[in-house]
Amino acid sequence: MRVMGIDPGLVNCGWGVIEVDGPRQRHVANGTARPTGKAMAERLLSLHELLTEVLAQHAPDACAVEQTFVNRDGAGTLKLGQARGVVMLVPAQAGLVVGEYAPNAVKKAVVGVGHADKAQILHMVKMQLPGCAPHSADAADALAIALCHAAHLQTAGRLAAAVARG
């Protein structure tokens, strides 16, 4: 199964794709989409086009996005929310259900601590995906989101199997 993680952003939008086969996880690709344009509508359209191309190229089976946290800058939070809307739209258009995870949940799943810093996330992503060289901190975060989603999907699968056995 291929899992894509996306770390939303209007300036730098990280993305990462992993392949999961039971307990094995393998890095497929990662990068940073950098939307162009001056007007908000142009930037959102550019983000949509860039992510649509990535999704078509790597054909994930599942996708997850980091939830937006609200900070002191209300205008910044609203802009990030608009980018997140586009980020959720692209995989939904491809027929994928989009998982959503709070930043602390992603950190806890990958690092083991909900308040890990960027360096710890990068280190653990590299440990869990040997040979992986994240394109940026945003791409490392996206790979962490993919790892988190893969773990949740596997747990849900095991739970469903146990319930079916009844």
Q: Which residues are catalytic?
A: 7, 66, 138
How far apart are the C-alpha atoms of 141 and 1, rounded to whole Å? 20
Consult the annotation and say whether 66 binds a ligand.
Answer: yes
Q: Pairing state of beta strands 98-101 and 62-66? A: parallel
How far apart are the C-alpha atoms of 165 and 28, rounded to whole Å? 34
Consult the annotation and say whether 138 binds a ligand.
Answer: yes
Beta bridge partners of 92: none
**Residue 105 Cα distances to 67, 111, 125, 160, angstroms:** 10, 10, 15, 22
How far apart are the C-alpha atoms of 104 and 98, rounded to whole Å? 18
Consult the annotation and say whether 7 binds a ligand.
Answer: yes
CA-CA-CA-CA dihedral for 12, 26, 90, 154, to nearest 10: -120
Name the residue with tokens 């996206």.
142
Contact in structure between 153 and 27 (CB atoms under 8 Å): no
Q: Which residues are annotated as a binding site for Mg(2+)?
A: 7, 66, 138
